[in-house]
Chain A
Amino acid sequence: QVQLVESGGGVVQPGRSLRLSCAASGFTFSNYAMHWVRQAPGKGLEWVAVMSYDGSNTYYADSVKGRFTISRDNSKNTLYLQMNSLRTEDTAVYYCARGGRRWGQGTLVTVSS
């Protein structure tokens, strides 16, 4: 069955960097666009970024544009999110999602001094 497992979250100081990973299994990863979606504590869902199935197209939310980079390695069935210049408002649970419909369990990123 479809499985998405995020990792790489943790506590980081403002201005620092972090890289999240999402390991996919149970489906042909290279056939699907993949998203990152986040949820700040007690808040709603916010779409962050997407990469097309072949990596040729990427889009970002305005709130992360220029700071976050989405990438994928189809040979490793893995999606990434490189997060630079982190801010306290980036604190959230980060989910990867296949085509927006199937979600992982999330990984918590806390940006705090």
Chain B
Amino acid sequence: DIQMTQSPSSLSASVGDRVTITCQASQDISNYLNWFQQKPGKAPKLLIYDASNLETGVPSRFSGSGSGTDFTFTISSLQPEDIATYYCQQYDNLLLTFGGGTKVEIK
């Protein structure tokens, strides 16, 4: 089974800061990686698919990069409404694996 290691598990940043989250796969997953945002009491929302593609309607301050085993998710300028937990997800054939999540807070 493919394991996903996401870091950090939490971070605190100021409004306007650049925020970076990383996700490492235990084996090569090409670009089969999605990034989700989850706010309390809500379902996860897709932000980035196939490692670097911005989902329709998602603000351009969100971006993703990487391939193979190492991936990065970036918020270029943190906004108050970005307070949430972020998850990476790999998809290998029909199987899904999630990273442990990163809780983003405002400093």
Contact = CB atoms under 8 A, between A and B. Distances in A.
A in complex with B: yes
B95 A47 contact: yes
A110 B9 CA distance: 27
Contacts of A64: none
Contact of A35 (B43, B87, B96, B101): B96
A103 B98 contact: no
Interface residues of A, number: 20
B21 to A, nearest CB: 14
Contacts of B66: none
A50 interface: yes
Contacts, number: 45
Given A44-B101, A95-B43, A101 B94 contact: no
Contacts of B45: 103
A77 to B, nearest CB: 19
Interface of A: 33, 35, 37, 44-47, 50, 52, 57, 59, 95, 99-106
Given A44-B99, A100-B34, 9 more contacts: A45-B38, A45-B44, A45-B87, A46-B98, A52-B94, A95-B44, A100-B96, A103-B44, A105-B43
